Amino acid sequence: MKRCKILEIEIQNLKLSENLVVFEEQKQIPERESRKILSNDEPLIFVGGIPRSGTTLMRAILDAHPNVRCGGETMMIPNFLSWQASWRKSDWANNTGITRKVMDDAVSAFMMEIIAKHGEMADRLCNKDPYTALWLPTLQRLYPNSKFILMIRDARAIIHSMIERKVPVVGYNISDEKQMFRNWNTEIRKMTTQCMMAGGNCLKVYYERLIQRPKDEIERICQFLDIEFDERMLKHEEFIGVEVALSSQEFSASQVKNSINNEPLTSWFDCFDMELLSKLDRLAPFLKLLGYDTESDKPSYDYFASDDFFEFRSVYS
C-alpha cells in the first residue's frame, strides 16, 4: 500500500515533467520570421573599374552623400556573378525547371541581400566591387533601374600602384610588366565596350579629371545618378567613420583618409623602363585610345582638366 502510494506519486511527477517538456518545446518553436528582400527594381548604384583606378575614392565620395550608402567591398559579388554564369550553362539547371527567370530572381535576391544588409540602410544603395565592371549586361538584366560608374585611370599609374603597394590583383603578374599592360588592355576594352552598350546607364569617370576638377565631376555624377549635389561630397575625409565606413583591410584606406589630392597623378614617373614605355601602343593600345599621352614618359594631365574635355571624346573614350 505504501509502495503503491510512492508509485502513484512518481507517475504523477513523470506526467508533470512530461507536460513541462512539451510546454518548454512549444515555447522554443520560434515564430516564422518574415524577411523583407528589396525588389530588383531598386535604383542601385554600382562603382567598378580596374583595381587602383580610384574606385574607393569614388565610393567614399558617394558615401559622404547623406542619402547614399556604398560601404566597403563585399568581395563576393563579382565571384558570385561568375559562379552563376557557370551554373546557367550546366545541364542540371536546364533539366530541373530552373528557367532563366527563376535563376535571375534567385540571383538578384541573393545579391540584393548582401548589398543591402552588409551596411546601413539608405535611400540609394550602392556597391563597390571593382570587377562588377566585367558584368554590366548581367547587372542591367538583374537590376533594370541600376546605374554604373566606370572608373578609368592611366594604366601606367595603375600598374605602378599594384607593384609599389604590393596589391595582389588576380590576372596581374607583378614580375612581368608587359603581361600587366596586356591584361589591363584586355580588361579595359571589355569594360568600356560594355559601358558604351549600356544605353546611358553607365558613366565613365576619369580619375585624372575627378581629382583635378572634383566639384564639376561630382556634379556631373550626381546628375547622372539623379541625386542632389551635396557639399559634403567634396569633403569625404571629414565623414570617415560616420557616413564613410572604412576598414583598415582595404588597400586604399590610408590614401582615402586624405582629402582629394593630385599627388598620385605623377607617382609613376621615372619608375618604368624607357624601352617598355616605347612599346605601350602595341602592348596596351587602349591607353592612347582613351586619350592618354603615350609619347611622353612624363605626360601632362592638364588635358583631363580642360573645359572642353568632353567635347572631343570618341565613342570609346
**In this structure, what DSSP letter does residue 133 have?**
G
Nearer to ligand A3P, 27 or 166 (CB): 166
Touching ligand A3P, residues 134-193 (CB under 6 A): 157, 161, 165
Size of residue set near ligand A3P by CB under 6 A: 19
Let me know: does 53 contact 159? Beta carbons within 8 Å.
no
Quote the CA–CA distance of 317 and 312 in Å, as a whole number.
9
Q: Which residues contact 131 (CB under 8 A, 6 or more apart)?
A: 48, 51, 78
Q: Between 112 and 187, whose beta carbon lies closer to ligand A3P? A: 187
Shorter beta-carbon distance to ligand A3P: residue 8 or 164: 164
C-alpha–C-alpha distance, residues 69 and 239, integer Å:
12
Task: Give 165 or 313: the residue with its C-beta nearer to ligand A3P.
Answer: 165
Q: How far is the CA of 214 from the CAs of 46, 208, 258, in angstroms?
A: 19, 10, 14
Q: Give the CA distances from residue 113 to residues 67, 121, 194, in Å, rounded to whole numbers and listed in that order.
A: 19, 11, 25
Distance separating alpha carbons of residues 245 and 130, to the nearest angstrom: 17
Compute CA distances 109 → 88, 124, 183, 199, 218, whole Å: 16, 17, 32, 24, 30
Asked if 258 is part of the footprint of ligand A3P (rule: CB under 6 A), the reply reads yes
Contact status: 252 vs ligand A3P (CB under 6 A)? yes
Q: How far is 133 from 98, CA to CA, in rounded Å?
A: 26
- Taking contact as CB under 6 A, which single stretch among the options 17-25, 49-57, 100-108, 183-191 is the one that binds ligand A3P? 49-57
Q: Is 73 a catalytic residue?
A: yes
129 vs 201, beta carbon nearer ligand A3P: 129
CB of 51 to ligand A3P, least distance (A): 5
Is the separation of the CB atoms in 217 and 54 below 8 Å? Answer: no
Q: Which of 18, 24, 73, 177 is catalytic?
A: 73
Among 115, 126, 256, 287, the residue binding ligand A3P under the rule CB under 6 A is: 256
Residues written for the chain: 317
State yes or no: residue 212 binds ligand A3P (CB under 6 A): no
CB of 296 to ligand A3P, least distance (A): 18
By CB under 6 A, tell whether 74 contacts ligand A3P: no
Binding mask 99-138 for ligand A3P (x = CB under 6 A): ----------------------------------------
Catalytic residue numbers, as ranges:
73
Task: Give the interface with ligand A3P as residue ranges (CB under 6 A).
Answer: 51-57, 157, 161, 165, 211, 252, 255-256, 258, 260-261, 264, 267
